[in-house]
Structure 1
Amino acid sequence: MCAFQIILCLQFRGSEIIQLQDFRTATLEDIASVHSRSYVFGLEKTFQESLIVAGVGLSLVDHVVAASKVSQTPAIGFALIRPPRHHVVPKGPMGFCVFGNVAIAARYTQRSRGLQHVFIIDFDVHHGNGTNDVFYDDPDIFFLSTHQEGSYPCTGKIDNIGCENGEGAMLNLPLVGWSGDIAMRTVFDVVIVLPAQRFKPNIILVSAGYDGHIRDPLANLQFTTGTYYMLASNIKKLAKELCSGRCVFFLEGGYNLKSLSDSVADSFRAFVGEPSMEEKVDDLGYLYDESSFKVKQAIQRIKHLHSL
């Protein structure tokens, strides 16, 4: 019975139809009479853990901001949290994600720390569509994503640059399959640095996905452990140059435990100024040659579209 029919029934046959106003909430015991207790309590636990995980990012922002005021040494935070979170759209979950931790931290940074300009770099192999959607029309938060073209969730086209007041405060850089270290280094040096310098951020937040590694099963970019060392090192330098070293990394994707652990460890080595361990942990013999022509062609396309 549709809502219109119910209203008519209540109006003309009120004595025969009772509209129940007071109803109770089902208890966990009620739900567990059908569903397993592990499933029921798991849902409750997931929500509480999601709040804790989101709080990790906020605490790191607090620490990094405070440290930057008393030390000349760049303060970098790294939230070792799972699952990845950058796919959550404003109205609901998506892609393993419950809450958008980077987006939440960006808003917190503005509202509670007085840092208005937030630069977000997302180098997960998948496009951070959730973060993209939250800040699509926001001129004070610059969202930049590198990701594999055509991969899940098939968003992040090159012409997606924001809208209204936020137009131009967004840069999506889809990379073709089998792009690797040469492409990523070139994109960082030629494309990423300039908009960051122009934007003049107060803090840099990073969605650090390690699923672009050549050994990762979910995509076919061919980043190496050294690629992630380079990214961590260059982002650290960029933060030191632009925003007193204030920078927080948030762990996103990475589904081969060996490449994930090696790459995260190498990121920490970059933070503390130790050399990369790439030669000891990676077998580079299985890499395909990258076409320098294709890399240059892609860079020219990006520069032309965004008028860099």
Structure 2
Amino acid sequence: MHFGYSERCLEHDTGERHPENPDRLRAIRRGLAKRHGVEYAEPDPATREEVVAVHDATYVDELEAFVADGGGSWDPDTVVSEGTWDAALTSAGLAQWAARSALDGADGRNTPFALGRPPGHHAVPDDAMGFCFFNNAAVAAQTALDKGEADRVAIFDWDVHHGNGTQDVFYERGDVLYASIHEDGLYPDTGEVEETGRDEGENTTVNLPLAAGAGNADYCHAIDAVVAPALERFDPDLVIVSAGFDAHRHDPISRMRVSSEGYALMTDQIRSVTDDVGAATAYVLEGGYGLDTLAEGVSMVHETFDGRTPVSDDEDPDEKTKTLVGELQDLLDL
């Protein structure tokens, strides 16, 4: 893969004990240093105007002023430092780079992956929350649409937390499909199966809130039975994967059971469906808070695109997952 990275993202200082800290990116880089064929790009940050295409201008002004005043706790979970403004714009710019590179034809071993922080998928149009300030994947999608580089964009989110911000941005839109597999009842306690979009966005929101303890077989079944047919019907020009790695069985803040190999399996599934529909594919980093498992997950995505064949464990999905999948198939008429 071709990775986007910038040292500016390390300047967002949340403190040593905060789970979303600069060591996340350092761990990923160390893990990738052991792998073959790793290349990095350092694109420009997003502009304020590109961020305001997704976020309310008043909120953006308030965040900029808060940073200029030295920062502090925006909310109990979301910490602002003097470096947060530049890091947040850089993280959004990395996501834009990934989307643009994919649409320009980067694929296969050159598939782009934006390694930015702070993450983005909890950032709603008028507020920061859940460690997130600007919604990186949403900014990238909106930029591609505004520049006429794509007519339809899909965002698939496999982070263990529901991307409430991404859903909110596009919930009434017909040009962006948002699909999420997440742990039911976990922060921010959104993303119910019945939430399928409104007005022009009807049936362009796909939520699969899996029960705690779901593992590889559950995630793969959800992709095969719901996410893949939803993508095929939507027929996007670009698929952005909001790639969090906190559903890993050893992540410290979730109860899911995805293995490192599970991320390779999901990568292979998404690659297959995007190949079938002829969509460009870009990856954007979201969560993942166990340093070793985060690094291993990113490396698994890279190795899958580098030619390694994932190994299935041949387990069956849980009955709860099968029931949820059937319900969503009926709701979306898949």
Q: Please give the range of the TM-score, normalised by the shorter of the 2 chains.
A: 0.7 to 0.9
Q: 1:86 corresponds to which residue? A: 121
- In 1, the alpha carbon distance for the partners of 2:318 and 2:81 equals 49
Opposite residue 209 of structure 2, the aligned amino acid is P
Give yes or no for the alignment of 1:303 onto 2:334.
Answer: no
CA contact (8 A) 1:178 1:290 kept: no
- Give the distance between the partners of 2:248 and 2:316, measured in 1 at CA: 15
The SS at the match of 2:146 is helix
User: Which residue of 1 is the match for residue 10 of structure 2?
Assistant: none
Aligned to 1:256: 290
Contact 1:89 1:131 in 2 (8 A): yes
Cα deviation code 1:182-230 (max 9, x no counterpart): 1111111111111111111001001001100110111111001111001
Q: Give the superposition deviation at 1:74.
A: 7.5
Contact between 1:179 and 1:290, CA under 8 Å: does it hold in 2?
no
- For residue 210 of structure 1, the aligned residue among 239, 245, 262 is 245
- Asked whether the equivalents of residues 84 and 252 of structure 1 are also in contact (C-alpha less than 8 Å), the reply is yes
The Cα offsets for residues 129-180 of structure 1, whole Å up to 9 and x where unpaired, read as 0000000100010000110000000000010011111111111110001111
CA separation in 2, counterparts of 1:74 and 1:167?
35
CA distance in 2 between counterparts of 1:103 and 1:217 reads 27
Alignment of 1:1-308 (within 5 A): 43-67=81-105, 73=108, 75-244=110-279, 246-276=280-310, 292-308=318-334
**Aligned-pair RMSD on alpha carbons?**
2.5
Query: How many residues of Structure 1 are paired with residues of Structure 2 in the alignment?
Result: 260
Give the Å deviation of 1:67.
2.5
If the length of structure 1 is used for normalisation, what is the TM-score? 0.78
Mark the runs of 5 or more structure 2 residues left unpaired by the alignment.
1-64, 73-79
Structure with the greater alpha carbon radius of gyration? 1
Distance 1:182 1:44 in 2: 43
Q: In the alignment, residue 159 of structure 2 is paired with which amino acid?
A: D
Q: Percent identity?
A: 32
Partner of 1:9: none
Does the 8 Å contact 1:67/1:75 carry over to 2? no
Determine if contact 1:225/1:263 at 8 Å carries over to the other structure.
yes
- Quick one: which amino acid aligns to residue 293 of structure 2? S
Please give the alpha-carbon distance, in whole angstroms, between the structure 2 residues aligned to 1:264 and 1:62: 20
Amino acid aligned to 1:138: R
The structure carrying a bigger helix percent of its residues is 1
Cα distance change on mapping 1:303 and 1:51 into 2, 3 Å: same
Give yes or no for contact 1:180–1:290 (8 Å, CA) kept in 2.
no
* Residues 229-238 or 193-202, more deviating: 229-238
Distance in 1, Cα, partners of 2:236 & 2:81: 38
Q: 1 CA distance for matches of 2:292 and 2:151? A: 38
Per-residue deviation, residues 240-297 of structure 1 (Å, max 9, x unmatched)? 22135x1111111101111111111011011111245x89xxxx9xxxx976433322
Q: CA separation in 2, counterparts of 1:159 and 1:295?
A: 15
Task: Give the counterpart letter for 1:83 in structure 2.
Answer: P
- 2:18 is matched with none
2-structure distance, mates of 1:291, 1:173:
14
Contact 2:154 2:178 in 1 (8 A): yes
* Cα distance in 1, alignment partners of residues 181 and 69 from structure 2: 43
Matched to 1:79, the amino acid is A
Q: Take 1:63 and 1:207, find their aligned partners in 2: how far apart are those partners?
A: 16
* CA–CA separation in structure 2 for the residues paired with 1:100 and 1:239: 23
